[in-house]
């Protein structure tokens, strides 16, 4: 068993090594046709750039990094010249027309968008590599090995961990799960991955290509970095769901919850949208509710839905109904868990890949205070941004109160959508625990939380006086809720942040906690004196 486990680990590492290694192989040969296609598709007007690029790039062979940085260098150089011209003409009182034309030639660059928007298409079109030649083989050597190895590593636990039950042995003694070097290495790997994915997809063309065949067979389009990410997401969740199944095989709540959240990810966030694209419909994730789905009301999205006939119209209406009616009504009956740990993709990853890190959440009162400020600020920001977007959409004005709507959107998209949700939220799993985004940043969680706190049947019932204050519940609460502080006082846990993962109840060695939906009456218990004390009951 041990042998199978260790071989699994090696195979899995090999898969990752191929995946990462593929970044460094192959080269780019920029033919004149491909170059022209790219120039046209990007609408590049700078003759300076085009001329220089034709000299320096076309017909030559580069590595990805060389090509990408050369293009950006040339772009910056041309931009400099155009700006100098503009300066010159402005000083000499030149004609506006000419100046405007010159402005349109400027190629704006920034590290966070140029790679993904500007250089990526050219690099993608020009790659020559063994991966490109052998896409199925490449898929097997990367995804295939990683998945097979991962499963071989995980499945022996069925025997190795002994009879079914809570097995958290050594979590706080192992470097990978206790912020040791193992955890730090993992975090660095995650963070680098997210930076490449979000901001430098032009440097990971080969990894993206490993998923190309799958993409072609699903949507008919070549794989993008987002397709690759979706496939990674689903694969990782599936492998770690198997881990959950083994770890919690005695706990049907966990098994069903894991299955459902995995289903929603694979079907709703991955397969259905890709198939929609195949049938020329908009890419649409039916479960992704605003304001987590912050681009829902962006003009390009609304327009695309409006241009997609009945189905598009339905999607638009459904998106609104989901947020305005479905979400709060379901939270009333079931608690926010129905979304956060049963449906949501972020939650799904946190509950599978993130499960080994759940105990790293910060339980201090300080963290709770910080949480309440920041998450509601993000919600407020999301609402304001969407308000401004809709205002611009209907009024046609591009700015509101002097602030450009587009820059609000890109600020949010960069800081909240990418850095907070991705880099910090997932990248820092091994440091901050698995729900840092859900707890501190997700505007939808904030909205659901308000409903859950003030109008819901959901609570975690504390079983009378049975709590021994051991602290397992608080330690394993991924949301950093100090569950024990309620349980030891005999109070029910009614907290806006609780995602109803059910793990506090699972790890409690005394059977003290039960997640349940019951009448609102008596949901919140304030009586600090416990059962078994007849005499003091009068005196609260």
Binding site for other proteins (CB under 8 A): 162-166, 168-174, 250-253, 256, 359, 363-365, 461, 463-466, 468-472, 474-475, 484-485, 488, 502, 505-507, 509-511, 514-516, 518-519, 521-522, 528-536, 539
Q: How far is the CB of 502 from ligand SF4 (least distance, A)?
A: 5
The Cα 405–Cα 444 span in angstroms is 21
Output DSSP code: residue 128.
E
Name which of other proteins, ligand SF4, none residue 533 binds, using a CB cut-off of 5 to 8 Å depending on partner kind: other proteins
The Cα 215–Cα 274 span in angstroms is 8
Query: Please, which residue, 289 or 508, has the CB nearer to ligand SF4?
Result: 508
Closest CA to 488 of 468, 506, 505: 468
Applying CB under 6 A, which residues contact ligand SF4? 460, 467-473, 477-479, 481, 483-484, 487-488, 493, 498-504, 508, 510, 512-513, 515
Name which of ligand SF4, other proteins, none residue 309 binds, using a CB cut-off of 5 to 8 Å depending on partner kind: none
Name which of other proteins, ligand SF4, none residue 473 binds, using a CB cut-off of 5 to 8 Å depending on partner kind: ligand SF4
Name which of other proteins, ligand SF4, none residue 408 binds, using a CB cut-off of 5 to 8 Å depending on partner kind: none
Query: Please, which residue, 147 or 432, has the CB nearer to other proteins?
Result: 432
Report yes or no: 443 and 507 within 8 Å, Cβ to Cβ.
no
Query: Please, which residue, 125 or 481, has the CB nearer to ligand SF4?
Result: 481
Q: How far is the CB of 265 from other proteins (least distance, A)?
A: 20
> At 337, is the secondary structure helix, strand, or coil?
helix
Q: How far is the CB of 330 from ligand SF4 (least distance, A)?
A: 17
Q: How far is the CB of 529 from other proteins (least distance, A)?
A: 6
Q: How far is the CB of 158 from ligand SF4 (least distance, A)?
A: 24
- Name the packing angle between helices 32-42 and 47-56 (round to 10°): 160
Upstream peptide bond of 363 is cis (omega within 30 degrees of 0) = no
Query: Please, which residue, 254 or 308, has the CB nearer to ligand SF4?
Result: 254
Q: How far is the CB of 453 from other proteins (least distance, A)?
A: 20
- Name the packing angle between helices 309-321 and 299-306 (round to 10°): 130
Query: Please, which residue, 189 or 332, has the CB nearer to other proteins?
Result: 332
Number of H helices, E strands in the chain: 29, 7
Alpha helices in 92-223 (DSSP H): 96-105, 120-126, 130-133, 135-139, 145-154, 157-160, 181-199, 205-209, 212-218
Beta bridge partners of 29: 61
Report yes or no: 537 and 522 within 8 Å, Cβ to Cβ.
no
Q: How far is the CB of 287 from ligand SF4 (least distance, A)?
A: 20
Report yes or no: 142 and 22 within 8 Å, Cβ to Cβ.
yes
Name which of other proteins, ligand SF4, none residue 487 binds, using a CB cut-off of 5 to 8 Å depending on partner kind: ligand SF4
């Amino acid at each position: 068993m041990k042998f199978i486990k260790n071989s699994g680990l090696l195979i899995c590492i090999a898969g990752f090594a191929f995946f990462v290694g593929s970044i460094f192989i192959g080269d780019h040969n920029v033919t004149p046709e491909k170059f022209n296609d790219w120039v046209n598709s990007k609408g590049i007007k700078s003759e300076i750039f085009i001329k220089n690029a034709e000299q320096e790039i076309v017909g030559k062979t580069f590595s990805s990094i060389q090509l990408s940085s050369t293009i950006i260098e040339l772009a910056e150089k041309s931009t400099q010249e155009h700006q100098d011209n503009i300066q010159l003409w402005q000083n000499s009182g030149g004609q506006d027309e000419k100046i405007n034309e010159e402005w349109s030639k400027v190629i704006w660059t920034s590290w966070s968008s140029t790679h993904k928007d500007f250089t990526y298409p050219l690099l993608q079109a020009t790659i020559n590599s063994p991966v490109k030649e052998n896409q199925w083989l490449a898929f097997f050597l990367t995804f295939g090995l990683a998945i097979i190895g991962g499963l071989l590593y995980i499945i022996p636990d069925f025997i190795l961990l002994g009879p079914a039950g809570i097995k958290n042995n050594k979590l706080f003694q192992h470097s990978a799960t206790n912020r040791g070097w193992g955890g730090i290495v993992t975090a660095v790997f995650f963070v680098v991955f997210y930076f490449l994915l979000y901001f430098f997809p032009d440097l990971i063309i080969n990894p993206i290509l490993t998923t190309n065949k799958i993409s072609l067979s699903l949507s008919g389009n070549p794989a993008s970095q987002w397709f690759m990410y979706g496939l990674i997401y689903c694969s990782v969740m599936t492998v770690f769901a198997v881990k959950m199944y083994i770890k919690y095989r005695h706990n049907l709540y966990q098994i069903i919850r894991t299955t459902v959240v995995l289903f929603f990810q694979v079907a709703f966030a991955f397969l259905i949208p890709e198939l929609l694209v195949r049938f020329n419909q908009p890419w649409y994730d039916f479960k992704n509710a605003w304001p987590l789905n912050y681009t829902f009301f962006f003009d390009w999205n609304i327009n695309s839905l409006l241009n997609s006939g009945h189905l598009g119209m339905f999607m638009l209406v459904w998106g609104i109904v989901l947020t305005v009616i479905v979400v709060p009504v379901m939270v009333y009956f079931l608690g926010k868990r129905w979304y956060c740990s049963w449906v949501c993709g972020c939650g799904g990853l946190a509950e599978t890949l993130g499960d080994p890190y759940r105990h790293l959440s910060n339980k201090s009162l300080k963290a709770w205070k910080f949480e309440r400020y920041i998450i509601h600020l993000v919600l407020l920001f999301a609402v304001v941004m969407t308000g401004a977007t809709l205002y611009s959409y209907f009024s046609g004005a591009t700015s509101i109160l002097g602030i450009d709507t587009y820059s609000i959107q890109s600020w949010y998209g960069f800081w909240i959508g990418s850095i907070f949700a991705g880099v910090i939220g997932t990248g820092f799993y091994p440091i901050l625990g698995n729900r840092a985004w859900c707890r501190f940043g997700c505007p939808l969680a904030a909205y659901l939380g308000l409903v859950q706190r003030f109008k819901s049947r959901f609570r975690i019932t504390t079983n009378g006086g049975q709590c021994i204050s051991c602290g397992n519940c608080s330690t394993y609460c991924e949301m950093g809720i100090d569950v024990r502080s309620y349980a030891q006082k005999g109070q029910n846990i009614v907290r806006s942040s609780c995602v109803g993962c059910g793990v506090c109840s699972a790890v409690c060695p005394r059977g003290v906690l039960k997640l349940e939906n019951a009448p609102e009456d008596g949901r919140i218990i304030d009586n600090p004196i416990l059962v078994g004390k007849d005499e003091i009951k009068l005196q609260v």
